[in-house]
Every structure is written in structure tokens, then in C-alpha cells.
Chains A and B, each alone.
Chain A
């Protein structure tokens, strides 16, 4: 199924970064003020975040958005 908010081709390193820092989904969700389900959906690519949430995530990990979210243009 396509992500609910479209945007195929957007991948992220959220799960990798979270696990590398030993953070649980609940903790990340609390820090970002979103639900744990949102973190789960982001990690498995079912949901693409708003630009605001993307900034929040980037600031949380001390990285740029581009370092976390990877856009791969689909061949036409």
C-alpha cells in the first residue's frame, strides 16, 4: 500500500539512528511530542512526516534533514 500521505521514494534512517543511540520508540515519541505509533509508521515508511516534524527529528538527532530523510527519484 502506498504511504497515506503519498511521497513514494522517501526513505529514512530513523530506526537505524534511534537504535544506534539506544532509544526506545516511546522515548523518541515523547521527545518529539508525537504518538509511539507515528514513530513506528515513520520507521517502516508507511507515513511521511510534515516538514515541521522532519525538522524536529533532525534537531533531536543533531543532523540535517537530508542526512535522515533520503529522497530517491523514481525512474520515469
Chain B
């Protein structure tokens, strides 16, 4: 357990080093490489540091951690979370479609409209694919 905790801390530190490195080397390395360093570094830092904090919390207060796990896995909470995710996804999908119509009205470049329609279609296709998959599973 402690080994894993230290591993996450190391990951966070590595992320911070990469992010700082991208700032130090600005101008000396190409923008895409700098962007990659910053993106990877920030991601690793956030993931590593959060996981490290969680493990530390778990070690210090196992009772509270157990309660948090129960809350997270509680079937009603899971149902609420899934329902909220489904509804927000649906709302967002139609908002994207509305944005496509608005972009036409505002005379936005064609790629904006096509991108919005693309997102709408991609979500619809993914939804159907997942429905087929779940129908086979259930």
C-alpha cells in the first residue's frame, strides 16, 4: 500500500517536472513539443497528486474512507449519477444541434456548422452502438 502511495507521489512529481520543463524550455523547443510536455505534465501531476492524496487519506482515516467508498458504490447514488449523466448528455446533444442552427443564422464558417452536426451524429451513433451492445449483454 505504502509503495503504491509513493508511486503516485512520484508520478505527480514527474508531472510537475515535465510541466516546469516546458516553461523553462519555451522558445528553445517547438510549440507542439512544449504543448505535449505541458499537457502530459499537467495530466500526470493532477492524476498522481489526487491519487496520492486519496491514499494518504485512506491510510490516516480508514473509517471515513470506507464510508466514502460505500457512498460512491451505493446503488441509489449510482442510479442518480447515471441518470444525471444521461440527461445532461441528451441536453448537450440537442444544444449542439441548436448551435449548428444558430451558426447558420449567424453566417459562421461552414466548418463550425459541420463540426456541430458531426458531434450530434457521433453521439447518436455511439448511443445506438451502445444500445446494441447492452441488448446483447442483458
Contact = CB atoms under 8 A, between A and B. Distances in A.
B80 A34 contact: no
Contacts of B76: 34-35, 37-38, 41, 47
A66 interface: no
A76 interface: no
B83 A34 contact: no
A41 B75 CA distance: 12
B85 interface: no
Interface residues of A, number: 14
A53 B80 contact: no
A8 to B, nearest CB: 17
A29 B66 CA distance: 13
A4 B83 contact: yes
B74 A4 contact: no
A53 B75 contact: yes
Given A33-B70, A35-B70, A49 B83 contact: no
Contacts of A29: 70
Contacts of A38: 74-77
Contacts of A52: 75
Which residue among B70, B77, B79 has the maximum number of chain A CB atoms within 10 Å of its CB? B70
A50 B76 CA distance: 9
Interface in B46-93: 70-71, 73-77, 79-80, 83
Interface of B: 70-71, 73-77, 79-80, 83
Interface of A: 4-5, 29, 33-35, 37-38, 41, 47, 49-50, 52-53
